[in-house]
């Protein structure tokens, strides 16, 4: 199997974690008195920002939609595997 390809165990673990992620989304929505989709977006933006801060590769299209890219630096392909 190619690196990063399909892995049944990884897929099952990620699917099993959906419940916990939804609990986080609903808790944040209640805490901030916002809609669940807004809480989900906030959590996603936090994860993207943390990954960028660590220098991890991030899909620049999704990060740009989330508004967490420094377009002068990040959008130059640095996080799509083009060093």
pLDDT in tens, 4-30: 688 999 999 989 999 999 999 999 999
Q: Measure the CA–CA gap between 77 and 22, rounded to whole angstroms.
A: 31
Residue ranges of domains in the chain: 8-76
**What is the structure's pLDDT at 23?**
96
Give the torsion through C-alpha atoms of 65, 61, 25, 15, to 10 deg: 160
Inter-CA distances, 58 with 2, 15, 19, 34, 62, Å: 19, 21, 24, 27, 8
Q: Are 50 and 68 in contact (CB under 8 A)?
A: no
The one-character DSSP state at 6 is: -
Q: Given pLDDT bands bounded at 50, 70 and 90, which one contains residue 31?
A: very high
pTM above 0.85, yes or no: no
């Amino acid at each position: 199997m190619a690196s990063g390809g399909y892995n049944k165990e990884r897929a099952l673990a990620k699917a099993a974690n959906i419940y916990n992620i939804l609990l986080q989304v609903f808790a944040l929505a209640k805490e901030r008195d916002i809609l669940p989709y807004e809480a989900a977006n906030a959590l996603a933006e936090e994860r993207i920002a943390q990954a960028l801060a660590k220098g991890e590769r991030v899909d620049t299209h999704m990060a740009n939609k989330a508004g967490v890219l420094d377009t002068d630096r990040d959008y130059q392909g640095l996080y799509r595997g083009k060093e």
